[in-house]
Amino acid sequence: MEMNEVVLKQRLMDENPEFARLVQRHQQYDHELQNLVNQPYLSPEEQMKETQLKKMKLRLKDEMARIMWSEQQEQQNW
């Protein structure tokens, strides 16, 4: 991630409640996923949960990227 993307992400976390909520949920899903991955064996239910968490994380990441892209476009139009 480029430095200006890091700065943009931090600014959005500070100024955009929706973006901050998405980041928080992404981190929560990541934590849950790490707990599953660290287990030596996953039951079929846990394997399904792992897949669901990965998909939810990806959706959140896509949404965060959309917000960041939109913000970058607005900045370029100034």
Tokens 């660290």 correspond to 38
Contact in structure between 53 and 36 (CB atoms under 8 Å):
yes
Domain boundaries, the chain: 11-76
pLDDT of residue 58: 98
**Average pLDDT, integer, range 7-33:** 97
Answer whether 23's CB lies under 8 Å from 8's CB: no
**What pTM, to 2 d.p., does this model score?**
0.87
pLDDT tens, 39-74? Answer: 999 999 999 999 999 999 999 999 999 999 999 998
Mean pLDDT value of segment 3-25 = 95
Q: Residue 34: what pLDDT? A: 97
